[in-house]
Amino acid sequence: MTTRTTPGQRFRDAVASEHPLQVVGTINANHALLAQRAGFKAIYLSGGGVAAGSLGVPDLGITGLDDVLTDVRRITDVCDLPLLVDVDTGFGASAFNVARTVKSMIKFGAAAMHIEDQVGAKRCGHRPGKEIVSQQEMVDRIKAAVDARTDDSFVIMARTDALAVEGLESALDRAAACIEAGADMVFPEAITELEMYKLFASRVKAPILANITEFGSTPLFTTDELKSAEVALVLYPLSAFRAMNKAAENVYTAIRRDGTQKNVIDTMQTRMELYERIDYHAFEQKLDALFAQKKS
């Protein structure tokens, strides 16, 4: 009898096997399957993606735990790739809220989560005007998360937004303090220079994630460049989401303008491509078999 590894262990194994591990954002279950088909070993659910994609609101702390869990469950129901989830500041002001978030993430099949040191009224990490809590409050968030784990393999990643607010030394101190408090990995947000990642890796002695998001503060470093800076994970949180939105806008504009979709049909996934990606025919064959049994 074979034993199935936990999502958390699969995430840790992926980090150990690919250097650096590419973690791509999947805005929904369909995209999770596409990412799996493309060969990725881990996927990501962005808090900003949930806000904009599922709710149509800005990434300003408006979403709640249940909003994120809905998308987590939909993804983990159909895709076995380990899923890293953005839980913002923990979805509440107390250690009890952080604990509930951790337990819920594990129960819904997530492999890992990152929690940040912004205040509750948070902003996108690449926007101005961010405010952060004290280092002690962030350490308390990490301790609450670690204590709440019902699965020791579940990965708790500490994100710090301190670089843009208090400077590099503060960000390094916070990252080290979070690892000392029990965090497994570190996510320094809005990094502006490649060498900074080396400093984090040297200071914290834990896997470092680089957030290579488009149109932000961080240059679009390549995997080779990031590997040279001792980065362990490379995150592309909303790349496919941005492309999907642009494509949808172009299609809507064309249909409204031209009175037909003929001019944009070549930009679309075909019906057969969709069926193949979601394994449609396997489901249909089972349905056919059930109908045949009833008839006989």
| 166-180 pLDDT per residue, tens | 999 999 999 999 999
Residue 2 has pLDDT above 60, yes or no: no
All domains in the chain, ordered by first residue? 7-239 (3.20.20.60), 245-292 (no CATH)
**Mean pLDDT of all residues in 92-111:** 97
- Which pLDDT belongs to residue 26? 98
100 catalytic, yes or no? no
Catalytic residue selected from 116, 117, 161, 184: 116
31 catalytic, yes or no? no
- Which pLDDT belongs to residue 38? 97
Alpha helix positions (H), the chain: 7-17, 29-38, 47-49, 65-78, 95-107, 135-148, 162-166, 168-180, 194-204, 223-228, 239-258, 271-277, 280-295
**Through-space distance between the first and last CA atoms of the chain, rounded to whole angstroms:** 36
211 catalytic, yes or no? yes
What does the DSSP 8-state code read for residue 264?
Answer: G
- Which pLDDT belongs to residue 4? 75
Catalytic residue selected from 71, 88, 117, 161: 88
Distances in Å between the Cα of 114 and the Cα atoms of 45, 70, 158, 164, 195 are 11, 17, 6, 18, 23
Give the residue ranges of the annotated binding site for Mg(2+).
86, 88
Vertex 114: Cα angle to 18 and 162 (nearest 5): 105
Average pLDDT, the chain: 95
86 catalytic, yes or no? yes
Note the pTM of the prediction, 2 decimals.
0.94
**Mean pLDDT of all residues in 157-164:** 96
Report how far Cα 3 is from the mean position of its chain's Cα atoms.
Answer: 26
189 catalytic, yes or no? yes
Residue 209 — pLDDT band, cuts 50, 70, 90?
Answer: very high
